[in-house]
Structure 1
Amino acid sequence: MRGDREAFGSLVVQTSDRLYAIAARILRDSHLAEDALQGALIAAWRQLPALRDPDRFEAWVRKLLVHACYAEARRRRSWAINVRILPADGPAGPDELVSVADRDALDRAFRRLTLEQRAVFVLHHHVGLPLVEIAETLGVPPGTARSRLHYATRALRAAIEADAAPVASQGRLA
C-alpha cells in the first residue's frame, strides 16, 4: 500500500500543475479550479485499481478532472461571471497580447458558450489535445467533440464580428 501511495503522490506532483491549468481555464476561478482538481485527485485515488495502463494516468485523471469541473460549475452557477479565455497561469506572452477591447469581446463571447463547448475549446486550443483524445476525455463520440468545437469556434467568431461591427460603423461619417 505504501508503494502505491508513493507512486500516486509522485504522479500527482508531476501532473498537478498542468491539471490545475486546465481546470482554471475551464472554470476561470482559482478556488473552483482547486476544488475540481482536489475532487478529481480524490476520485483518482479511490478508483486507482480501475486504471489499466499506468502510462495513461494523466489522460485518465484529465477525464476525471473535466467531469469534476462540470460538477463544480453546476454547484456554483456564479462562475460564469468570471470566465476569461486568456491563460490563467501567469502573464500573457507576446502571442497572447490583444487589446483590452478585443479581450473583453472574446470574454463575452466565451461566456456565452455552453460548458461542454468551453471544455472542448480549452482542451483543443489551450492543452493541444487531438479531437480523438478530447472525445475520450469527455466520454463522447469523436463526431460530438468535433461538432462542439465547430459550434464553439463559429459562435466565438460570430460574437466577435458582431462586437466589431458597431465599432466599424461608428467610424463612418453620416
Structure 2
Amino acid sequence: MQRELVDRAKRGDEEAFDALARQVGDRCMAIASWILRDADLAEDAVQAALVRAWRELRTLRDADRFEAWLHRILTNECYAEARRRTRWSARIRLLPVADSVDAGGVLTVNDRDQLERAFRRLTLEQRSVLVFHHVVGLPLPELAGRLGIPLGTAKSRLRLATSALRASLEADDRTSTTEERFA
C-alpha cells in the first residue's frame, strides 16, 4: 500500500502524499519530539521535513525505503531547527516520559526529571541515535542508513551516547545525595 502511494506521489498526486504524511506523521512527531525536546520545534521540523520530502520525492530511488528516507530528512531538519533556534533550550517543556526506563537492564531511572535533565545534556547526534535505537527500535544497520552515517559511526555514537547519559545520571545521583546530606 505504501509503495503504491509513493509511486502515485512521485507522479505528482498530492492526495497520495497527504495519505503518506498521515501514515507517518505521528511517528515523525514522536521522533522529532525526542530529538528536540520541544513540541513546537518538533512540529516545525516535521512540517519542514514533509515539505522537503514532497519537493525532493523524485530523488527517492526505492519506494519501499520511503520511511527511512523521510526519517533521514527529518533528522536533518531537527538539527537545522535546533541551530535556527539557539534559545530553544531555555524553553524546553517536559514531555511525558515513563517513570522508569529499562534498556535491557542497563539503565533504570525512577525520577522522570532526572532523566529529562540528563537527556537534554546530550548532543543532538547522541539523542538521535538513542531515540532511533531505543525508542523507535531500529537495529544499528538501519539506524546508520537513516542517519546517513557508516555503521561503525552509528555504533560509536550509540556507545558514547549511552555512556554520556549514564555519566550524567550518575552525576545527578551524586549531586542529589550531597544536597540531601547538607539539607
Q: How does the TM-score come out when normalised to structure 1?
A: 0.83
The aligned counterpart of 1:24 is: 33
User: Relative to structure 2, which stretch is displaced further, 162-171 or 2-11?
Assistant: 162-171
Identity of matched residues, %: 58
Partner of 1:40: 49
Contact 2:109/2:115, CA 8 A, preserved across alignment: no
Does 2:163 correspond to 1:150? no
Aligned residues: 167
Contact 1:23 1:69 in 2 (8 A): yes
* Structure 2: gaps spanning 5 or more residues: 1-8, 102-107
User: For 1:126-141, what aligned pairs fall within 5 Å after superposition?
Assistant: 126-141=135-150
Work out the CA distance in 1 between the residues paired with 2:131 and 2:91.
16
Report the aligned-residue RMSD: 2.6
Which stretches in structure 1 are left out of the alignment for 5+ residues? Answer: none
Distance 1:147 1:46 in 2: 33
**Inter-partner Cα distance in structure 2 for 1:92 and 1:72:** 22
- Give, in whole Å, the separation in 2 of the partners of 1:136 and 1:146: 12
Is 1:104 aligned to residue 122 of structure 2? no
Q: Which has the higher contact order (CA 8 A, sep 6+)?
A: 1
Aligned partner of residue 136 in structure 1, secondary structure: helix
Aligned to 2:104: none
Q: Does 1:165 align with 2:170?
A: no
What's 2:20 paired with?
11
Runs of 4+ in 1 over 3 A off after TM superposition: 81-84, 91-99, 166-172
Query: In structure 2, do the counterparts of structure 1 residues 116 and 39 end up closer, same or farther at CA, with 3 Å as the change threshold?
Result: same
Q: What secondary structure, in the 3-state scheme, does the structure 2 residue paired with 1:128 have?
A: coil
Distance 1:30 1:169, change over 3 A: closer
Which sits farther off after the overlay, 22-31 or 158-167?
158-167
Summarize deviations over 1:85-117 as a string: whole Å, max 9, x none: x8x4xx555755964xx2222222222211111
Give 3-state SS (helix, strand or coil) of 2:13's partner.
Answer: helix
Q: 1:74 to 1:5 in 2, by over 3 A?
A: same
Name the CA shift for 1:93/1:6 in 2 (closer, same or farther; >3 Å): same
SS in 2 for 1:44: helix
